[in-house]
Chains A and B, each alone.
Chain A
Amino acid sequence: MLGALLIVFREVLEAGLIVGIVMAATRGVPERGRWVTIGIAGGVLGAAVVAIFAGAISEAFQGSGQELFNASVLGIAVVMLMWHNAWMARHGREIADEIRRVGAAVSEGSKPLTALAVVIGLAVLREGSEVVLFLYGIMAQGTSGSALLVGGILGIAAGAAFTALTYFGLLAIPSRHIFSVTTWLIALLAAGMAAQSVQFLNNAGVVEALGQTVWDTSWLLSEGSLVGRLLHILVGYTERPTEMQLLVYVAVLVVMYILMRIARPSPPRPMPAAAE
C-alpha cells in the first residue's frame, strides 16, 4: 500500500506544484476558481482518454508517439506560461494595487485564464494518465488490489494537500512581492519544462543534435531523491543535462525576459509592438 501511495503521490505532486504556483500567480483575477476547475476537470478527463489510448499513442510515429506527445504537451505548456508572464508584466501591477485596495476582485479582463486553464489541464493530463495506468494495473492484478488502491487514493489526497500547501505558502508572501516571486517561479518552471520537452524529442529521435551530457551532478543531488524531484519540477533540475537542454533552458529564460520587457506598460521608450 505504501508503495502505491508513494508512486501516486509523486505524480500528483508534480501536477500539484504547477497548479499551486499558477494559482498563486493569478491571485485576485476574477473567476479564477472556475477556470482552475475547468483545467483540472479537463486534465482528469484527458488523462483517462490518454490512458485508454496509451497503446495506440505509443505505437504512433514508429514507436515515438509517446515521446512526441509528451514533448508537445510540455511545449504547449511552455508557450502558455510565456504568454501568462507577458500578460502579467502588463497587468500585474494594476491587479496588485487592486488587491491592496479592495482585498480581492479586479475588473481587468480574463485574458490569462484560458492560458492558465490550459497549463493546469496539461499538467494534470500528463501526470494523471500515469496515475490512471498505474491504478488500472493494480486493479487488473486483482487479489491484493484493494489495499494498493487505498494507497493510491491516499496518494492523491496527499498530493492535493501538498498543492494546497504550495498555494497557501505562496500566498503568505506579501502582495507587493507575490507577482515578482511567481513570475520568477513560472519562468524557471517553463525553462525546465522546455528542457524536458527537448529531451523527449531526443528520445523520439527527432532532435539528436547536441546530445552530449555536459555535466553529472548525480553524486551531489540525485534526480530520484525527494529534493531532486522537487527541484526537477520547480526549476528543471537535471543531474545530467545535455548541451541541447542547457541551450533550450537559457533560450526560454531569455525569450521570456524579452517578451516581458515588450509587454511592460508605461515604457521609458514607447514600443508600438506592445500594442494589442
Chain B
Amino acid sequence: MRKALLLIGLTGFLVIGPAVARADDYVLTIKDHRFTPTELKVPANKRVQITVVNDDPTPEEFESHEMKVEKVIPGKSKATVRIGPLKPGRYPFFGEFHEATAKGTVIAE
C-alpha cells in the first residue's frame, strides 16, 4: 500500500514539462538593503525573467504576494525570478529580511 500511495502522490504533482527559457531579462540590484531601480517596467501578459543581484554581504528574501514569488538570495550573489503572465498594473515586492528599506514595484504595461 505504501508504494501505491507514493505513486499516486507523485503522479499527482510531478507533472514535469520541459523547462523553457523564453522569458526576457530584467535586472534588480540590492545594495544597502534597497532595491534599484525601485520601479521596474515589464511587459504585461508575458512570462518575465528578473535577475535579482544582491550586492550586500547579507542574504535577502525577495518576496511578493502579488507576483506569487519568494526566493532567498544569499549575500554577494544573484538569482533568477520568473513571474507572470501579469495583467497590466502595479505589483509591489519587498525584501523580507529588511522590509523597512527594501521595497519596490514592478509595473506591468
- Could you tell me how many residues of chain B have their Cβ less than 8 Å away from some Cβ of chain A? 46
Q: How far apart are the CA atoms of A140 and B75 in the complex, in Å?
A: 10
- Could you tell me how many residues of chain A have their Cβ less than 8 Å away from some Cβ of chain B? 61
Q: Is A62 an interface residue (CB 8 A)?
A: yes
Among candidates B12, B21, B65, residue contacting A194 with C-beta atoms closer than 8 Å: B12
Give the chain B neighbours of A183 by CB distance below 8 A: none
B82 to A: closest C-beta gap in Å: 5
Give the chain B neighbours of A211 by CB distance below 8 A: 84-85
Q: Is A82 in contact with B9, judged by CB distance below 8 angstroms?
A: yes
Interface segment out of the listed A25-33, A155-163, A247-255: A247-255
Among candidates A7, A54, A206, residue contacting B96 with C-beta atoms closer than 8 Å: A7
Q: Which of A250-268 contact B (CB under 8 A)?
A: 251-252, 255, 259, 263
Q: Is A169 an interface residue (CB 8 A)?
A: no
Q: How far apart are the CA atoms of A64 and B83 in the complex, in Å?
A: 13
B100 to A: closest C-beta gap in Å: 7
B22 to A: closest C-beta gap in Å: 9
Residue of B nearest to A11 (CB): B96
Q: Is B61 in contact with A130, judged by CB distance below 8 angstroms?
A: yes
Q: Is A203 an interface residue (CB 8 A)?
A: yes
Among candidates A3, A59, A141, A205, residue contacting B58 with C-beta atoms closer than 8 Å: A141
Q: Is B57 in contact with A140, judged by CB distance below 8 angstroms?
A: yes
Q: Mark A68-95, 1 if CB is under 8 A from B, else 0.
A: 0000000100110011001000000000
Apart from A211-B84, A218-B66: 6 A-B pairs, beta carbons within 8 A: A7-B96, A62-B19, A75-B14, A83-B5, A130-B72, A137-B75
In the assembled complex, 30 residue pairs joining A and B whose CB atoms fall closer than 8 Å, in A order, are A55-B74, A58-B73, A62-B19, A63-B80, A75-B10, A78-B9, A82-B5, A83-B2, A83-B5, A129-B72, A136-B58, A137-B97, A138-B58, A140-B75, A201-B13, A202-B68, A202-B82, A203-B68, A203-B71, A204-B19, A205-B19, A205-B21, A205-B82, A206-B17, A208-B20, A208-B47, A212-B85, A222-B65, A240-B66, A242-B68
Which of B's residues lie within 8 Å of A, judged by CB?
Answer: 1-2, 4-6, 8-10, 12-17, 19-21, 23, 47, 57-61, 65-66, 68-69, 71-75, 77, 79-85, 87, 96-97, 99-100
